[in-house]
Amino acid sequence: MKATILGILGAALLVGTSAAQEKRAPLDTEGLPAYLRDRGQGTSLSQFASYVQKRELIIYPFYEYYHDSDYEYSPNELGQALDQDFRGSYKANEVLLFLAYGVTERLAIELEAAYIDAELEKSNEDPTSLPAKISESGVGDVEGQIRYRWALETPSRPEIFSYFETVGPTQDEGSLIGTTDWEFKLGFGVMRGYSWGTVTGRGAVEYDLAEDAGALGELAVEYVRRLSAKWRVYGGFEGTQDEVSVITEAQWHFVPRGCLKMNSGFGLTSKATDWAPEVGVMLSL
């Protein structure tokens, strides 16, 4: 696992370093209106503080770690009969590949796939025949998004955008990893640039085919600030009513078309993952 992660990130670093140095850097916003200084002209992506322009391809291999000491699970979701919530200890290593393409100035598409190695230590209060420790590895979530900008930002009006996400089934029912049935999400957002940074608010509704039920999805408030031609920072609150996290990220644009992204999520509520750091190299072609 570690060798795979280092190999992917190392290859991405070499490709990014050899990218065309004379192309305009994503953080070079000279000549643009002040409200675009933090993000440029691109369509916002599901990756934090990331944007894609028309006919631009984004390639982002990255690694994420999860640690949750009070992970909520129900034995019936893992092949047992008991439908009751317990709290166990969960850890996972995940390698992901994210792709995005700017179809037009307003329309972008995304694809993301993951390979995950996860481990769950069940609760001492769990009376079922589940092993004390469950370990699984394999294909994780595979998802795609369509993102559209309904209104571009102007001096007097914020940007308005929406996104539609589909997550496909990758594992059988009772698995600790992946998705067992189709999931759908429809979201809307508003983004506005100010002299002190760019603020985004967004929310979504979700539908899970396995449960045949819809629900209010994640809500988020996000802040982005370009510090220089090489550095950009991000901070945000994201989650549902009982699963909220704060996320911080620093981006180092070490070459015009290569960016090192380093972020970490910290759970603010008991059902949120305690700690989820992420690192990867985002390339623009």
pLDDT digits (tens, 9 = 90+) for 129-186: 999 999 999 999 999 999 999 999 999 999 999 999 999 999 998 899 999 999 999 9
- CA separation for the pair 145, 57 (Å, rounded): 15
pLDDT of 164:
98
- CA separation for the pair 232, 224 (Å, rounded): 7
Angstrom distances, CA of residue 137 to CA of 76, 100, 101, 171, 193? 20, 26, 29, 11, 42
Is 2.40.160.40 the CATH number for 2-284? yes
Domain ranges for the chain, please list them. Answer: 2-284
pLDDT digits (tens, 9 = 90+) for 87-134: 999 999 999 999 999 999 999 999 999 999 999 999 999 999 999 999
